Amino acid sequence: MAIPAAAGVLVVLLAWLAGPGLLGVTNDAVGAPVQAEVTKPAPCDKPDAVETVKFTVAGKAHEGKLNGCGHGQGERVEVVVPDVLPDQGTVTVTAADTSMGSSDARRPVGLALLVFACFSGGMFVYLWLSIPLRPKTPAAKVS
């Protein structure tokens, strides 16, 4: 029983030390959120749909490509633009989180699910090893 418990504690500790990226929580969006207007919407019927948006940063209008679909012409969306913008050409932008702080709850929930999975696996091993082995007996002959 001690070995499965120690293995579960080790897995949880390593997951905690690995950081938020292990449980799917990443904050790799570098830039500032900006309001943008969809100028060329894309339908959601094909994969890798890209919409064209326009936005203004520091008084200068820019055009960007948003990896997304389903917005209407002229619809306002919040996007994250890179810190350094080129003078000309399109900029690749990403959609901003729709609810602030949504990544704060994902890591504890993911870690709790990992703890539950480790506990369940340890209990399965304990129960499997505690089943007594029964010797095979030959079938009784019917006369």
| Residue 101, Cβ density class (10 Å: 0-12 exposed, 13-18 middle, ≥19 buried) | exposed
Angle at 22 between CA 84 and CA 6, to 5 degrees: 155
Which pLDDT tens digit goes with each residue over 8-31? Answer: 778 878 877 776 566 655 555 567
Model pLDDT for residues 31-54, shown as the tens digit of each residue = 778 899 999 998 888 888 899 999
pLDDT tens for residues 80-132? Answer: 888 777 777 788 888 876 544 445 666 777 778 888 888 888 888 888 888 88
